[in-house]
Structure 1
Amino acid sequence: MEQLSGKPKPTRVRYGMLALVFVNVAINYLDRTNLAVAASSLSTDLELSPAQLGWIFSAFGWAYAALQIPGGLIADRFGPRVLYAFCLITWSLVTVAQGFVRGFASLFALRLATGTFEAPSYPINNRVVTSWFPDSERASAIAMYVSGQFIGLAFLTPVLVTVQYYAGWKGLFITTGLVGLVWGIVWYLFYRDPLEHQGVNQAELDYIEDGGGVFRAKDKTAAKVNIWKWANVKQVFSSRTLWGVYIGQFSVNASLWFFLTWFPTYLVKYRGMDFIKSGYLASVPFLAACAGLLLSGFLSDRFVRRGTSVSVARKTPIIVGLLLSVSIIGANYTNDTTLIIFFMALAFFGSGMALISWVFVSILSPRNLIGLTGGVFNFMGNLASIVVPIVIGYLAKDGNFEPALIFIGTIGFIGACSYIFLVGKIERVVTQGIQEVTID
């Protein structure tokens, strides 16, 4: 079909690639949160204390956070098709193995391995979106694929609870691992980069590239840049603006990792809810987070299209979202189940709004260091996956969960302050040297 101008109409292959990433993210978080669903039963069978359970929850984060920078470098070096298939298959095999653990040490080691093989996943996601989408669509695209973690968990958490109810926690790990193995093959068969996809036409390539999409690094005629240099790592640690978004991402992830780890246990053990009922109630905050994420992404892109400055359009939803996440503290002041879930949902709605923060990696990264910058960004954010589960385990060890919720709310407030006072004018960091920015 042709437009009135006679020029070919751009194809929409990019949306198919985004759909594949969406499923990747859903499976990624399925294999992160299956432990949270299994925790109340597993901790009893393996005789784990709350403090030990906190360390188990954090094990994923130790490896995942530590390998974000190498993962980002690997994402810059290898294509998403092969690398993502490898990661999906390996972390899924490790997930299956978790169904056969016998104690603290083996489970801790396997959760470390899960974090190891998932480490490149988000730098790859960001590389895919940066390659396939122009700047004007990127926040929406990020919101769509990140929503996979919430939509998947919202609708699958009751399924996971049901699987565990009938097959036990061992069956839960085996089932979720097998799903990832199958999908790893599907990804390899169907994903291609823009210059390699047979279904994309030149009009879509021009639309993406003219709008700021970056995919020429895969072009053999493009200049080669050596990313394996210490100077490159130093560069992405030297920008005040980047440090602002790093701190903000830690704050966003603090709330996220509470919900991915302790939330089901909080409902069952600290609020006395029925296990099956808690599975359905736990889905409500995930749906709220998804709504917040999608709303934030589409509003942010709409502001950009209307001519609002990038700084205002991208930062405002994140700041509002982080401030809303502080409302989690409200759950400390009620024993009513409906109000508890309301405060949890409102807080996670805010955290969802703030999760479009990945758009800053696309906007700020040096063009040839998108994977590395994404790796550093995700490393700083995922330090929360280590700190939060352990701190909560110790704060709640005497049976009182209130200090833990105050801890989560406080971190959210710090994140909002980081975006308000540290993140300045949004400009891309150039490869030749740091481009200084000034506060709006």
Structure 2
Amino acid sequence: MSSNELKELEAQPDIAEVNTQPRFTEANKNPRNGRRKVRWFILFLICLVTAINYIDRAIISLAAPAIQGELRIDPAMMGIIFSAFGWSYTFTMLFSGYFLDKFGPRKVYTVSVIIWSACTFLIGTAKNVTSLIIYRLGLGAGESPSIPTNAWCVAEWFPKKERATAVGVYTGTQYIGLAFLTPVLTWIIVTFGWQTLFYGAGIIGFMIAIAWHKFYRNPKDHKSVTEEELDYIAAGGGMLGSEEKQPFSWARIGQLLKHRQIWGMFLGQFSIMTTLFFFMTWFPTYLIEEKGLSMLNTGIYAAIPYMVAILGTLIGGRCSDWMVSRGYSTGLARKLPIIAGLLLSCAVIGGNFTNSPNLVITFMTIAFLGQGVASTVTGALLSDIAPKGMVGITGSSLYFVANIGGTLSPLIIGFIVSATGSFTPALAFVSVVALIGTLSYIFVIGKVKRIELPGN
């Protein structure tokens, strides 16, 4: 044996030492380790899908004044068109949970994005109220798996102490398109017509569906993930895509509904969605018809609350995870930001007491900031309390009830405005519902812990 070969042999680690070395060392616990970044790429994919999801459902709010003028639609009928999305979205929510538990997020999201992108494109071809309603119904059905699928992916890929941050990041992308593109989108409406918005969004959605199908896998099946990252996720409570799925049954849903945690979240999320859908549907029309802003000025002013809502999602998620990492109880770390956010959402009523565009936008910005904080941490809370193997069913059950708020709010606001000729009582309605959600998290939800069902 040569001297060089001897040196190489001496440099090799002892076999026994290698075999006894723990896979999950203190060094590996550092979440900033460069070998563990696949989960953040997965989060980037979730953000892409979420961004186009909310652009597709919300751009009708920017186009609504033009659509109303061109197709001669009154506020009550426009409220029905807005709410059509919510009816199909809510009705298909439970079924989306079944398909999610059966087929997993990769297949479900691919089909889902293709369906809603096609319906978005078709809205641009609508020539009457009937076709608008039909395409909005299809859009809602296509988007119904989105929230439970996002919660599923975060539960698979992220340890408990990072979940609220991850949810905050993708929740922020709900608003990012409208936050930074609203002035551009309103310019497109004025210059090229409202149909162009829907054609472009639909085409972009098809491209994102291809990217999701190509790159998404659960942690156990992803070729790029390292053992260190898998250990880190598993040690923090991540599912890794290896949990046994619980079969869907109405009996399981019945067992789930016996827990006050679920009912508290039902009321709270109902309130959160009521505020969200006001901004996603009637907000630009409110600025134009109630406060006298022009279309282009509305594009500038309406972008501000969306920008601040992004900040709210990041603040809410980061604060919640910070509290968890500092040893605060999960209940306090999750509920406190939600309660604070819902209280801030009540500020929407402030628009009733001023005609100053700056003050109106200030009140709306505070309200949407609160909505962002509350909605972010709710997603993390869902991951914390869902029974093992039932993230999809639990999420779809929660959002089935919660999205009744998103369905009813544009409809109720439309009839209020049509009956009274004013948005004043409509803003009072949104504010009161936010207050009810606050009380549900204080008095109804109780202790935060993972729900255990018989047979789990």
Aligned-partner Cα distance in 2 for 1:74–1:4: 38
Counterpart of 1:432 in 2: which secondary structure?
coil
Residue 85 of structure 2 corresponds to 60
1:266 aligns with 2:289: no
Aligned pairs for 1:381-400 (under 5 A) are: 381-397=402-418, 398-400=420-422
> CA 1:338/1:74 → structure 2, altered by over 3 Å: closer, same or farther?
same
* Alignment TM-score, normalising by the size of structure 2: 0.91
Counterpart of 1:195 in 2: which secondary structure?
coil
CA contact (8 A) 1:36 1:262 kept: yes
Which residue identity does 2:249 align to in structure 1?
K
- Tell me the CA shift for residue 399 of structure 1: 2.1
Aligned pairs for 1:183-202 (under 5 A) are: 183-202=208-227
Which residue identity does 1:401 align to in structure 2?
F
Aligned pairs for 1:218-237 (under 5 A) are: 224-237=244-257
Select 1:89's aligned residue among 94, 105, 114.
114
Aligned-partner Cα distance in 1 for 2:27–2:440: 49
Which residue identity does 2:385 align to in structure 1?
L
Structure with max Cα Rg: 2
- Tell me the CA shift for residue 361 of structure 1: 1.2
Aligned-partner Cα distance in 1 for 2:27–2:409: 57
Aligned pairs for 1:28-427 (under 5 A) are: 28-217=53-242, 224-355=244-375, 356-397=377-418, 398-427=420-449
Q: Which runs of 4+ in 1 moved over 3 A?
A: 2-10
- Tell me the CA shift for residue 274 of structure 1: 0.9
- Any idea what the Cα deviations from partners look like across 1:41-97, whole Å, max 9, x if unmatched? 001111111000000000000000111111111111112222211111111111111
Residue 20 of structure 2 corresponds to none
Aligned-partner Cα distance in 2 for 1:213–1:94: 35
RMSD of aligned Cα (Å): 1.7
- Tell me the CA shift for residue 5 of structure 1: 7.1
CA contact (8 A) 2:97 2:148 kept: yes
Residue 438 of structure 1 corresponds to none
CA contact (8 A) 1:235 1:433 kept: no
- Tell me the CA shift for residue 313 of structure 1: 0.9
- Tell me the CA shift for residue 159 of structure 1: 2.2
1:428 aligns with 2:450: yes
Aligned-partner Cα distance in 1 for 2:292–2:77: 21
- Tell me the CA shift for residue 4 of structure 1: 9.4
Which residue identity does 1:427 align to in structure 2?
K
> CA 1:411/1:196 → structure 2, altered by over 3 Å: closer, same or farther?
same
Aligned-partner Cα distance in 2 for 1:211–1:4: 14
- Any idea what the Cα deviations from partners look like across 1:380-424, whole Å, max 9, x if unmatched? 221112110011011111321100000000000000000000011
Counterpart of 1:338 in 2: which secondary structure?
helix
Task: State the identity %.
Answer: 40
Aligned-partner Cα distance in 2 for 1:402–1:346: 18
* Alignment TM-score, normalising by the size of structure 1: 0.94
Residue 437 of structure 1 corresponds to none
Which 10-residue stretch deviates more, 124-133 or 84-93?
A: 84-93
1:14 aligns with 2:36: no
Aligned-partner Cα distance in 2 for 1:225–1:332: 49
- Tell me the CA shift for residue 325 of structure 1: 0.8
- Tell me the CA shift for residue 255 of structure 1: 0.5
Which 10-residue stretch deviates more, 67-76 or 254-263?
A: 67-76
Aligned-partner Cα distance in 2 for 1:48–1:315: 42
Query: Mind listing any 5+ residue stretches in structure 1 that lack a counterpart?
Result: 435-440
CA contact (8 A) 1:68 1:379 kept: yes
CA contact (8 A) 2:230 2:240 kept: no
